[in-house]
Amino acid sequence: MISASVNETVQFYHLDPMNVVWHGNYVQFFENARCALLDEIGYNYPQMDESGFVWPIVDMRVKYVAPCRFGQKINVAATLREFENRLKIDYLVTDAQTGQKLTKGFTIQVAVDKTTGEMLYRSPDFFIEKMEALL
């Protein structure tokens, strides 16, 4: 499958009162990696919009393995796992220096026709063909 990753440095504004990254900020880390992945396949949000489809997230899971702390350099990898009926993207957050697994998760996005608002139960044919050509 296709993967992309981004490097981040944990900032003070990411922290909660316990001095670890607040759980909600992992969503932002996932989003940054997801955009890198979507750029890699040439179908980021502007291209989605131009194609006539929006792809809302309908499910997301996060498993916190170990805390991220101020100043820590992390790597956030996104891997496309499914594309035929939905976009399922797996995420893995690791310490950039040691490789220690810190957090993992996934998101699921579905295609919705921008004009009608109808959710598709299968990814649009042009997108499946695009992905098959990349693999």
pLDDT in tens, 103-130: 999 999 999 999 999 999 999 999 999 9
**Stated pTM of the model:** 0.95
Among residues 68, 59, 61, the alpha carbon closest in space to that of 101 is found at 68
Angle at the Cα of 28 from the Cα atoms of 23 and 30, rounded to 5 degrees: 95
Average predicted confidence (pLDDT) for the chain: 97
Tokens of 5: 């990753």
Reduce the DSSP state of residue 69 to 3 states and report it. Answer: coil
